[in-house]
Structure 1
Amino acid sequence: MEEHRSVIAGYDGSDEAAAAIRWAARHARQRSLPLHVVHCSLWPLLTRNLGPVPGVAGSGLERAAEAVLEEGLQIAQAAAPALDIDATLLHGLPASHLAAVSARQELVVVGSRGLGGFLGLLVGSVSLELAATASCPVAVIRSDLHPDGPVVVAVDALGSPAALSDACTLASAAQAALTVIHVHQTPAGYAHHGRHWGGDAAGAVLQEALHRARKQAPSVPVDGSVLHDVSVPHAILEASAAARMVVVGTKGQGLLRETIGSTAHAVLHHAQGPVLVSRRGGSY
């Protein structure tokens, strides 16, 4: 019997996490998938005194954690009434729990930075760790949303099949335009008079990606372009400034920058809007 797959959304009470919950609820409704809201309480790592204050109803750290989860559930219900929504309170580090809960699921959704971002990283420690360790796609939602913009996906020289598939799924669910880009990294000094070194091969990569995208997402408009830049991340960021979502792939697993790929790392840190990091293989 096939396992029922869900959209997983982490919530920690922050504004960023609330935006992620709303996005996740709407996306789950578009795809007719259940939503699973998760809150991870850090308090057991800091103290054993979780119980209520004697004589004070509704007090205590455990009750506070339950209230955060209930708030996340209410936000999801308001964003997508009648959606099948479950909620779970866990205790411990959020990234580890979210990676475990989201295994074999459709998608895990988090805010760009929230209360779990205590390491001071620009994008938040939870988002960065999930992008490196999750076994399903990871959507990092920022408040700078462009609901009328296209889904933009970057494909590499091998076509980034996983990222392209995830982008087609997103665009089809939202009935949004899909823009496919391939960045040809042009060494400084090679671009003169409108001519670019290696442009024919880059054009072939794009055309093959467009062909596959139109087959996978036949109900939405698909276009694309080859971009020439000395920096692949810079080109992606420029092209996705008004995107409702930019989709990139990644390589490897782990917590270090190199293990998620320098391009995915840069886009995750600097994109103006939401980013989906494809964790089903492929490179950038």
Structure 2
Amino acid sequence: MNRPVVVGVDGSTASLVAAEHAARAAVLRSRPLHLVHGYLHPLGYGVPINPYDVGLPAPSEEAQKMLERTAADLVGRCPGLAVEVRQVAGGPGATMVEESRRAELVVVGSRGLGGFAGLLLGSVGTQVAAHAHCPVLVVRPVEEPIPVAGPVLVGLDGSEPAALAVGCAADEAARRGDGLVLVHVQPPDGGRRGADEVTETQVAADAEAAELLAVAAATVRERHPGLAVEGRVLRAAKAEQALVEASRNAALIVVGSRGRGGFAGLLLGSVSQALVQHAHCPVLVAHPVGR
């Protein structure tokens, strides 16, 4: 099945930047690109006076022109790219989650400005990143150009979602021809002054981190023999802050999701949610395709 790369487009700056990223992702994967506009039912948030008169609204001519202009622009930039456009009668978040059932990758934009002041990712992006049935690329920050240099960064902690994220990150790094950086975050050691103050616990933690990174690197190299892989241990009180800071020097950061039912925050986890809200580069949320 030739699963497409799907991106939601509504004419906003964020969605048009997301479409640009989606076109690049489609070219790298040799997949078609689908531009989808999900529009809300006009009675979706109220009770109609006469429920028997309810029907699906017709697609908008203005939206169709916007989609066709976007498609023409992307084909002009990426000759040979196959682009399909369509409008779907439904809310944008629910539409993209449903589209993800048949997609290789879903791309969403972010309206965030960075920092830890509050929630910055739009509700549609949050919904899709948490509930999609395939990997989701969250494009942020919108005001910056597409990163063309820098490694793919992925955090690992030995969990199953992190293992999926590492595999996804390795595949992406191989497609881009960039290096892969495996990151494990440990709590600070309390500012020890010399080697004599190193505790048994710290030595054991360091050994565990080194083994975790070595095993992951070996697995990646077996799958992608020519890929440059580096392991790093970062020390920070909170893993999410360390990874957000590390994202400044990356072209892409990959995170896992917990993956079944429930609320968006619980699905993404605190680290993943912090990154999709505050990272300094695009974030790829790893979901199993067709899960």
Distance apart, 1:137 and its partner CA = 0.6
Structure 1 residue 274: Cα displacement: 0.4
Counterpart position of 1:39: 37
The more displaced of 64-73 and 167-176 is 64-73
1:219 deviates by: 3.1
Residues 131, 264 of structure 2: 8 Å contact kept: no
How far residue 75 of structure 1 moved from its aligned partner, in angstroms, is 3.3
Report if aligned partners of 1:41, 1:65 keep a CA contact under 8 Å in 2.
Answer: no
Secondary structure of the structure 1 residue equivalent to 2:101: coil
Matches within 5 A, 1:9-48: 9-42=7-40, 44-45=42-43
Structure 2 residue 183 is matched with structure 1 residue 175: no
Q: Which residue of 2 aligns with 1:51?
A: none
TM-score (norm 1): 0.84
Partner of 1:146: 147
Q: Distance in 2 between matches of 1:215 and 1:104?
A: 29
Find the counterpart in structure 2 of residue 225 from structure 1.
Answer: 232
- Following TM superposition, by how much is the alpha carbon of 1:109 offset from its aligned partner in structure 2, in angstroms? 0.5
When the two structures are superposed, what TM-score results if normalisation uses the length of structure 2?
0.82
The aligned residue for residue 112 of structure 1 is 110
Paired residue for 1:211?
218
Structure having the higher helix fraction is 2
The CA distance in 1 between the partners of 2:189 and 2:80, in whole Å, is 57
Q: Secondary structure at the match of 1:33?
A: coil
**Residue 192 of structure 2 corresponds to which residue in structure 1?**
192
Distance 1:99 1:13 in 2: 19
In the alignment, structure 1 segments of 5+ residues that lack a partner are 48-59, 115-119
Q: Against the structure 1 CA distance between its residues 66 and 206, is the aligned structure 2 distance closer, same or farther, given a 3 Å change threshold?
A: same
Corresponding residue for 1:52?
none
- Give secondary structure in 2 for the equivalent of 1:13: coil
Counterpart in 1 of 2:49? none
Q: Distance in 2 between matches of 1:72 and 1:243?
A: 28
Q: Which deviates further from its counterpart, 190-199 or 20-29?
A: 190-199
Q: State the match for 1:117 in structure 2.
A: none
Which residue type is aligned with residue 270 of structure 1?
A: H
C-alpha root-mean-square deviation of aligned residues, in Å?
2.4
2:70 alignment partner, SS class: helix
2:255 & 2:192 partners in 1: Cα distance?
29
- How far apart, in 1, do the equivalents of 2:21 and 2:254 lie? 15
From 164, 167, 170, the equivalent of 1:165 is 167
User: Residue 69 of structure 1 aligns with which residue?
Assistant: 67
Alignment gaps of 5+ in structure 2: 46-57, 113-117
Cα 1:168/1:189, change in 2 over 3 Å: closer
Identity percentage of aligned residues: 36
Deviations 1:49-81 (Å, cap 9, x if unpaired)? xxxxxxxxxxx9811121222233223213321
Cα distance between partner residues in 2 of 1:157 and 1:112: 29
In the TM superposition, what are the counterparts of 1:115-134 in structure 2 within 5 Å? 121-134=119-132
